[in-house]
Amino acid sequence: MIEDLLSRHIKKRPTTLKFEGRILYLLDDAELVRGQLYEGTDIQRPHDYRGLLRDQISTDEITPAYICFFYDETLGDFPYLGLRTTNQTTKKTEYPVKRNAVRNGGFICSVAGRRRGKGSSREASPYAELHAGIKVIVAESIERIYDENCQNLGLLTSTDFGVIDRIMAGEEISLTEFTRGKDEITRQIIEYGGLFEFNVARLQGNVTIPVAACAQEQAAPNRPMTVAEKIFASHLVTDAGKDEVGVPWVEPGDTGFFHTDIRFSHEYVTPMASIFFENKVGRDAKIVDPASVLFFRDHLTFLSKVMSQERIEDGLLEAANELEVKQREFSEKQGVKLYGEQMGHRLGSQAICHSKILEEYAEPGMLIVGTDSHTSHAGAIGSLAFGVGTTAIFNSWLTRDVRMSVPLSFKVEIRGVPAPNVTAKDYMLEILRHPYIRDGHAIGQIIEYAGPAVEALSIDERATMTNMAAEVGAFTGIIAADETSVRFMVNERGMDRSRAEQLIHGMQSDAAAEYVKTIEIDASTIRPMVALPNDPGNGVYIDGLGKEPIRIDIAYAGSCTAGKKEDMDMYARVLGEADAQGMKIHPDVKAYIQCGSTEVREYCRKQGYMTLFDRIGAEFIEPGCGACIAAGPGVTSSPDEVSISSQNRNFPGRSGPGNLYLGSPYSVAASAIVGYVTSWIPGQKFKQISARKLSSA
């Protein structure tokens, strides 16, 4: 395999580029978007429309989840089908982009506003854009994983709007316009047209790998580091040929390849990565060190319960089922452990991927990569865990390392004693509405959670915070390892205490470590919160929602963020109080409780929660992803429906077409009882809103 790669002739891109085609502006104006797509209207004075550019475009809008059932060039039919725009006359939300509209329009450049590509790490999004003819992405700011995925695929990105004028003028544009300000490795990946091509040149010794700052002449003998920087330093590859890793210290901006301890992917991504692997390396090629690779079937196991008949007839269910088949066949061929195949007649999985990684595999000091934006979940125990795209995971199967530039870090320090109904989810909703995060300053940085209020949290509650680093737009989230980490490894995994204590040694940030910003929060001032529909950053205090109650149709309690053991304790505490008052789930509400793994399910059984959930009228769902990706019970079915969920994100269309509010496990359970968005107050009597009157029809 390696010999074949070494024999290949790899060429760089031309030093100047010329782009011939149209420019598509993703605007918050349905008619202007339609005009570009279907009437051949080109915007001649783009700067006049700068204020209409859509901000906060998630990958769910670029390629809605059901689009990702495809994993080849067919994706080029579908970019922007989930793009949410406003009819400026009626002020109603519209979705103007249809299948093949972008490809048929002859567009080569796509323009948006701030925070383009937020949310899910799906490489299907830039892959769809690329195969629809898009060659250049322009936005005011671009999310880290999405930007990296573009680079890895060969799609050019820029935050310089001057590039648009030059494309319109038909000018030759220097490739340096797209590499300026990039680190040495990223620059070369762009020059070679993608990560795989660069890696072949790397194996051939034809590229320049930068030397870490600590290895340069006159470098200081050591440097105070954050816990994340310590893990980067211990995993930096110094000689790939000899598997040598580790340097005394690193600093932000140091770029290189970092050895991974665990690499994992799920059925949304493994098939596309396997196609890349077989097409580029060879059908008989083998993954390097398959024992450190894990595959999961977790995202689509409930899809048949919620997919519309129209989409089934369009072949989308069949396409989704092919993902499972392709992953299973590749797993068997490569000898990689696959979770999710031992459920028997049940729907569901053994575990959501990142839930299982924290439950069983992650250790303080590990470097873990996965093809999910919520890979950061495992940062709760003091590991450095972050999401990567399809191309990056495919390349890691060859090299066991990933390219990365050490990010800047910022700290969120939480002090004070919270109210008994305030949880880690409320902390996160408070953090997400902070201007530093809301305005995109945290994009690509590491968020380190610290302070007495964080230290007082269990590993499960810490995981809620590190999981939602994805919603921050951060590179990852991490919490220093401590005695709580030790207890988790000893009590939950049966690890020898002496080994657990050894693992946490040094896995704390140095007192003089550098942060670009420190955000201080007083936990005692936080009240139960909810995020209003369409963005997790729309956080408000529940008691400030107004006098008119917000009726709900669905309460979904679960997902990786809130399907852990302690989350189940919270649901049971609230529902147990309601049960003691002789109450059940509100008659207008469908309530679902879904756990993150079979381990959590068995915990619920032993605690007697399953009986409680059934008695009070909540439907328990087997482990797996579901409503939070519109692929399981709990999704809305019409724009008029309202749901409240303890999941991590509520981007448009994320869980169906309705309005989705985000809250803590306590708030979701309480809302399910009373029939409207509310918080839980310990010991307070529940008061249900009147049931809706049914028509005689």
Q: What is the tens place of the pLDDT at every residue in 389-445?
A: 888 899 999 989 998 899 999 999 999 999 999 999 999 999 999 999 988 899 899
- Report residue 596 as tokens: 């993150």
Higher local confidence (pLDDT), 597 or 220: 597
- Apex 325 CA angle, 323 and 331, nearest 5: 100
CB within 8 A of 694, min separation 6: which ones? none
Mean pLDDT over residues 217-239, rounded?
87
- Over 90: is that where the pLDDT of 44 sits? no
Burial of 660 (0-12, 13-18, 19+ CB in 10 A): buried
Q: Are 381 and 459 in contact (CB under 8 A)?
A: yes
Which two three-digit tokens encode residue 358?
A: 């924290």
Question: Is 693 a residue whose pLDDT tops 70?
Answer: no
Closest of 152, 133, 128 to residue 65, by C-alpha: 128
Q: Does residue 296 contact residue 623 with C-beta atoms inside 8 Å?
A: no
Which domains are delineated in the chain?
19-171 (3.20.19), 529-674 (3.30.499.10)
Instruction: Using a pLDDT cut of 70, give the percent of the chain over it.
Output: 96
**104: burial class by Cβ within 10 Å (0-12, 13-18, 19+)?**
middle
Confidence of residue 364 (pLDDT cuts 50, 70, 90): very high
Q: E strands within 211-275?
A: 237-239, 244-245, 255-259, 262-266
Instruction: Give residue 653's Cα distance to chain centre.
Output: 15
513-520: average pLDDT: 98
- How many angstroms from the chain centroid is the CA of residue 590? 27
Tell me the three state secondary structure of residue 344: coil
In this prediction, what percent of the chain has a pLDDT beyond 90? 73
Number of neighbouring beta carbons within 10 Å of residue 48? 9
Least confidently predicted of 11-25, 488-502, 628-642: 628-642
**Residue of 266, 288, 290, 480 lying closest to 375 (CA atoms):** 266
Single-letter amino acid code for the residue at 196: F
Helix (H, G, I), strand (E, B) or coil at 541: strand
Q: Residue 642: beta bridge partners?
A: 659
80-89: burial string, b at 16+ Cβ within 10 Å, e else: bbbbbbbeee
| Dihedral over Cα of 481, 486, 492, 495: its sign | positive
Specify the pLDDT at position 389. Answer: 84
Q: What is the structure's pLDDT at 68?
A: 82
| 163 has a pLDDT exceeding 90 | yes
CA 556 to chain centre: 19
Residue 330: the pLDDT is 95
Whether residue 595 has pLDDT greater than 90: yes
Whole-number Å distance between alpha carbons of 447 and 476: 6
Q: Is the pLDDT of residue 679 over 70?
A: yes
For 537-569, how does the pLDDT look when each residue is reduced to its tens digit (9 = 90+)?
Answer: 999 999 999 889 999 999 999 888 999 999 999
Of 390 and 673, the one with more pLDDT? 673
pLDDT band at 697 (very low <50, low <70, confident <90, very high): very low
Strands 659-663 and 529-531 come out as antiparallel
Which secondary structure element, helix H or strand E, spans residue 505, and what is its range?
A: none
**Residues 250 and 406: beta-carbon distance below 8 Å:** yes
Q: Where residue 219 falls among pLDDT bands split at 50, 70, 90?
A: low
Q: How far apart are CA 463 and CA 642, in angstroms?
A: 27
- At 268, list the tokens: 């949304």
Structure tokens given for 683: 């010991």
Secondary structure of residue 540 in the 3-state scheme: strand
Q: How far apart are alpha carbons 221 and 243 in whole angstroms?
A: 24
| 30/47 Cα distance (integer angstroms) | 18
How high is the pLDDT of residue 346? Answer: 60
Whether 603 has a pLDDT exceeding 70, the answer reads: yes
Structure-token match 């002859």, residue found: 106
Give the per-residue pLDDT at 339. Answer: 93
Beta strands 518-522 and 539-541 are unpaired
At residue 129, what are phi and psi to the nearest 5 degrees?
-60, -45
Structure confidence by residue, pLDDT tens digits, 456-490: 999 999 999 999 999 998 999 999 999 999 999 99
User: Residue 650 in contact with residue 663, Cβ under 8 Å?
Assistant: no
Asked whether the beta carbons of 668 and 556 are under 8 A apart, the reply is yes
- Amino acid at the residue 282: G
* Alpha carbon distance 664, 526 (integer Å): 13
**Does residue 694 carry a pLDDT above 50?**
no
CA quadruple 233, 515, 455, 460: dihedral sign: negative
CA distance 18 to 249: 42
H or E element: which one contains 573?
A: helix 565-580
What is the C-alpha to C-alpha distance for residues 77 and 644, in angstroms, rounded to an integer?
Answer: 33
**Mean pLDDT score, 285-308:** 88
Q: Which residue has the tokens 């020059």?
A: 191
Region 254-262: mean pLDDT is 94
Distance CA 350, CA 70 (A): 24
Distance CA 370, CA 262 (A): 8
pLDDT score of 696 more than 50: no
Q: What are φ and ψ of residue 411, in 5° steps?
A: -115, 140
Mean pLDDT of the chain: 92
Residue where the block lists tokens 């992803």: 625
Residue 303 above 90 pLDDT? Answer: no
Q: Which residues on neighbouring strands pair with residue 168, listed in sequence order?
A: none
SS3 for 275-303 is HHHHHHCCCCCCCCCHHHEEEECCCCCCH
Q: What is the pLDDT of residue 604?
A: 97
Mean pLDDT over 64-72 rounds to: 84
Q: Can you list the pairs that 186-192 forms with residues at least 24 positions away whose Cβ atoms lie under 8 Å?
A: 186/151, 186/255, 186/403, 186/405, 189/151, 189/152, 189/403, 190/13, 190/151, 190/156, 191/12, 191/13, 192/10, 192/12, 192/13
The arithmetic mean of pLDDT across residues 71-99, rounded, is 93
- CB distance 416 to 515 below 8 Å: no
DSSP H or E stretch at residue 330: helix 316-334
